[in-house]
Amino acid sequence: MSNKEPESGDSQDSLTAIDYINQQEELEREARTLMPFDPNECTYDLGELRQQIYACLTCSKMNDNQPIGVCYSCSIQCHSKHDLVELFSKRSFLCDCGTTRMAKTPNGACSLRRADRSNTGPLAGAQSRKSSHIDLPAEDIPSNSNAYNQNFHGKFCACKHLYDPAKETGTMLQCYFGFVCGEDWFHDRCIMGLSRDYHTTEDSNSLPAIDGNQFPIETTSSDEDSDEADDGSAQYRLEHFPHLKTFDEFICWQCVSKFRKNFNQLDQEFPGVIVEKLPRFVGVKSLDEWKELQEKANEPRVKRTKTETTNDQHDSEGYSIFLARNFKKKLQHVSKLDHQSNLYQFLQNNSFLYEDDTIYKPPEDDSDDAWSSTASNTESSALDAIQSLPRDQAIEGIQAYNAIKSKLRDFFKPFAEQGRVVTEDEVKNFFGEMATKEKPSE
């Protein structure tokens, strides 16, 4: 074994090639975690699915503010340079990429479907957008049943705020039913009806808000969780709000109000399916005030005076419901209901309440030629910077590095073979030479 000293000593600007490779393997693992799926298949030809959807604000603005949602793969391959908002899952949604909803978007045809239909096969990263020099318009037929709401313009919740992950605090839940709200996301405080300034008057009554980078928090139906002791998420529960581990899904007050009779029948016919009904009081400024109104609302009507029932300045907007962790198991005998009953018809029209309602996931990316490989074998400090960028810029950066992947490997090969360190200056010189070669001749 060689005892040769590293040429650059203990300089903080140096690293061994082996250290570099280890760093890249770790970065690749992180990239696979963030984007684990193969981004080479648009879901348009698969029809309407419950799937991950991204709102493209850029294409929306180009098309008279018409809401536009695209699938996971198209968000990477066709819209990576656009302003995107991750909406998470939407039910029965057909990808809008390449449809006439994007008719005014230049070269709006879906690059993935274009490549597939020409039998050339989609290419990874930026290459897919450069595979054709022909400007093709978006001409495919859009769905006539996609449901759009304010989420497709970047707004969420009853407070209609623009979501900013860097500033967001508190827990947000997605309405599972969505008939009225369009599967919107709601702050826990807004579900209760607390005013936006309640924090300034009652912050001491609630526990610390959850890190905004964890938005949104989706509840899980894992039986293992229910048996475990409270984990870190417990400390963030808003007082009087149901514990996240006590329910599986949430249905907002707007959707409940539209079908209140049906949900009341559901509660009567299948006890235990609804574990909590949480009232919403408009403009409440403190948690103590909310609790007082809840207790008053629960009093028998004979105890309330006429003044109380007619002049209450905090009217209730109804209530949201929280479904048990095993609610679908409790609803497995739906077929035994009277088939002429309103409840049976309601459940048949919304069969996702008792049947499997899985979210479509693209095939996992396990190849060296697809998306995951674009994150590997790149200069360490550059990728660290990429990780801190907004999603669209990060994708663009990773795609750019994919183009020089093989050259970067050749650059590091002699360092690894000789056990030499790689200095910051050597890396800078490498990229400087690359930039010079890429400059167009005047």
Same domain? For 280 and 416 the reply is no
Same domain? For 214 and 307 the reply is yes
5, part of any domain: no
Alpha helices in 132-236 (DSSP H): 188-192, 198-202, 223-227
Same domain? For 50 and 24 the reply is no
Same domain? For 26 and 54 the reply is no
- Assign residue 291 a region (left: φ > 0; alpha: ψ between -120 and 50; beta: otherwise): alpha
Residues 6+ apart with CB under 8 A from 273: 266, 267, 323, 324, 327, 330, 331
375, part of any domain: yes
- Buried b / exposed e along 162-174 (16+ C-beta atoms within 10 A): ebeeeebebbbbb
Same domain? For 331 and 226 the reply is yes
Q: What are phi and psi of 55, to 5 degrees?
A: -80, 130
255, part of any domain: yes
Please give the pLDDT value at position 29.
65
Same domain? For 30 and 58 the reply is no
Same domain? For 277 and 183 the reply is yes
Alpha helices in 51-150 (DSSP H): 57-62, 72-77, 111-117, 127-130
Please give the pLDDT value at position 401.
57
- Tally the domains of the chain: 3
CB 392 within 8 A of CB 85: no
Same domain? For 123 and 211 the reply is no
Q: Which residues of the chain have pLDDT under 50?
A: 1-2, 4-13, 120-132, 200-234, 307, 309-311, 369-382, 384, 388, 442
Token duo for residue 268: 């009567």
Give the end of a domain, one of 321, 353, 385: 353
Please give the pLDDT value at position 431.
74
| pTM for the structure as a whole | 0.69
Same domain? For 214 and 321 the reply is yes
262, part of any domain: yes
Give the end of a domain, one of 300, 323, 353: 353
Interatomic CA distance for residues 239 and 334, integer angstroms? 35
343, part of any domain: yes
Same domain? For 377 and 247 the reply is no
286, part of any domain: yes
Same domain? For 176 and 241 the reply is yes
Domain that holds residue 57: 44-130
Same domain? For 428 and 313 the reply is no
Nearest to 243 by CA among 212, 211, 207: 207
Give the end of a domain, one of 130, 146, 166: 130
The amino acid present at 109, given as its one-letter code, is: A
Alpha helices in 203-315 (DSSP H): 223-227, 253-258, 260-269, 287-297, 306-311
